[in-house]
Chains A and B, each alone.
Chain A
Amino acid sequence: MALLTFDTAHKPKQAYASMAILLALMLVFPFVASQFGNSWVRILDMALLYIMLALGLNIVVGFAGLLDLGYIAFFAVGAYLTGLLASPQFAALLESLINYHPELQDAIVATFGEDVRTNGIHLSVWFIVPLAAIMAGIFGALLGAPTLKLRGDYLAIVTLGFGEIIRIFMNNLNDPINFTNGPQGINLIDPIRIFGVSLAGEAGSRATVFIGGFGMPSVNAYYFLFLLLCIVTIFMTSRLQHSRLGRAWVAIREDEIAAKAMGINTRNVKLLAFSMGASFGGVAGAMFASFQGFVSPESFSLTESISVLAMVVLGGIGHIPGVVLGGVLLAALPEVLRHVVEPTQQALFGKVLIEAEVLRQLLYGLALVLIMLNRPAGLWPSPLKEDRPLAATDKDEKEENAAA
Chain B
Amino acid sequence: MNNLLLNISGVNKRFGGLQALTDVGIQIRPGQIHGLIGPNGAGKTTFFNVITGLYQPDTGTFELAGKPYSPSAPHAVAKAGIARTFQNIRLFGEMTALENVMVGRHVRTRQGVFGAIFRHKAARIEEAAIRTRAQELLDFVGIGQFANRTARYLSYGDQRRLEIARALATEPKLLALDEPAAGMNATEKLALRELLVKIQQEGKTVLLIEHDVKLMMGLCDRISVLEYGKLIAEGLPAEIQKNDAVIKAYLGGAH
Query: Which A residues have a C-beta under 8 Å from some C-beta of B?
Result: 236, 239-240, 243-248, 250-251, 254-255, 257-266, 272, 276, 384-386, 388-390, 393, 396-397, 400
Known contacts A263-B79, A264-B75, A385-B148; A254 and B116 CB within 8 A of each other: no
> B173 on the interface (CB 8 Å rule)?
no
Is B112 on the interface with A (CB-CB < 8 A)? Answer: yes
Q: In the complex the two chains form, is A389's CB within 8 Å of B115's CB? A: no
> Are A245 and B99 also in contact (CB < 8 A) when A254-B94, A257-B90 are?
no
Q: Are A262 and B83 in contact (CB under 8 A)?
A: yes
**A62 to chain B: closest CB distance in Å?**
12
Minimum CB distance partner of A318 in chain B: B94
Given A239-B116, A239-B119, A385-B149, decide whether A264 and B91 contact each other with a Cβ distance below 8 A.
Answer: no
Binary per-residue interface labels of chain B (97-116) against chain A in the complex, 1 for a CB within 8 Å, 0 otherwise? 00100111111110111011
Cβ contact of B78, chosen from A236, A247, A263, cutoff 8 A? A263
Q: Is there contact, CB below 8 Å, between B116 and A246?
A: yes
Question: CB-CB < 8 A to A276: which residues of B?
Answer: 113
**A263 to B166 CA separation, bound complex (whole angstroms):** 11
Contacting pair A243 B111 (CB below 8 A): yes
- Give chain A residues whose Cβ lies under 8 Å from the Cβ of B147: 390, 393
Q: Which of B115, B148, B153, B170 contacts A262 (CB 8 A)?
A: B170
Task: Establish whether residues B113 and A240, one from each chain, have CB atoms under 8 Å apart when the complex forms.
Answer: yes
Docked pose: A257 CA to B90 CA in angstroms: 8
Assess the B106–A260 pair: CB atoms within 8 A: no
Q: How far is the CB of A76 from chain B (nearest CB, A)?
A: 24
Residue of A whose beta carbon sits closest to that of B119: A239
Chain A min CB distance to B40 (Å): 22
- Residues of chain B within 8 A of A243, CB atoms compared: 111, 115-116, 123, 127
Residues of B within 8 A of A (CB): 52, 54, 73-75, 78-79, 83-84, 86, 90-96, 99, 102-109, 111-113, 115-117, 119, 123, 126-127, 130, 145, 147-150, 153, 166-167, 169-170
Q: Output the least CB separation between B229 and chain A (Å).
A: 23
Extra contacts besides A257-B54, A262-B103, A276-B113 (8): CB < 8 Å? A244-B116, A250-B92, A251-B103, A254-B92, A262-B166, A263-B74, A390-B147, A393-B147
Instruction: Please indicate the chain A residues that have their CB under 8 angstroms from the CB of B111 in the complex.
Output: 243-245
Please, how many angstroms separate the alpha-carbon atoms of A246 and B92 in the complex?
13
A251 near B130 (CB under 8 angstroms)? no
CB <8 Å contact, B148 and A257: no
Known A-B contacts A243-B116, A245-B113, A264-B103; A258 and B150 likewise in contact (beta carbons under 8 Å): no
CB distance from A69 to the nearest CB of B (A): 23
- The answer to whether A266 and B148 have CB atoms under 8 Å apart is no
In the complex, A389→B145 CA distance in Å?
11
Whether B75 and A272, one on each chain, are in contact in the complex, defined by CB atoms closer than 8 angstroms, is no
Q: Name the 6 nearest CB pairs between A and B, nearest first.
A: A263-B107, A263-B78, A243-B116, A254-B92, A258-B90, A260-B74
- 12 residue pairs of the A-B complex, CB under 8 angstroms, read A239-B117, A239-B119, A250-B92, A250-B99, A251-B103, A259-B92, A261-B78, A261-B90, A262-B169, A264-B106, A384-B150, A385-B148
Q: Are B103 and A259 in contact (CB under 8 A)?
A: yes
**Centre residue among B74, B96, B111 by max chain A CB count within 10 A:** B74
Residues from chain B with Cβ under 8 Å of A386 in the complex: 149-150, 153
CA distance A261 to B100 in the complex (A): 13
Measured in the bound complex, the distance between the Cα atoms of B162 and A305 in whole Å is 39
| A385: B residues at CB distance < 8 A | 96, 148-150
B103 touches A247 (CB 8 A): yes
Q: Is the CB of B145 within 8 A of A393?
A: yes
Check B78 against A262 for contact (C-beta < 8 Å).
Answer: yes
Q: Which residues of B contact A251 (CB under 8 A)?
A: 92, 95, 103, 106
| Complex contact B104–A262 (CB within 8 A) | yes
**Chain B residues, CB < 8 A from A260:** 54, 73-75, 78
Q: Which residue of B lies closest to A257 (CB)?
A: B90
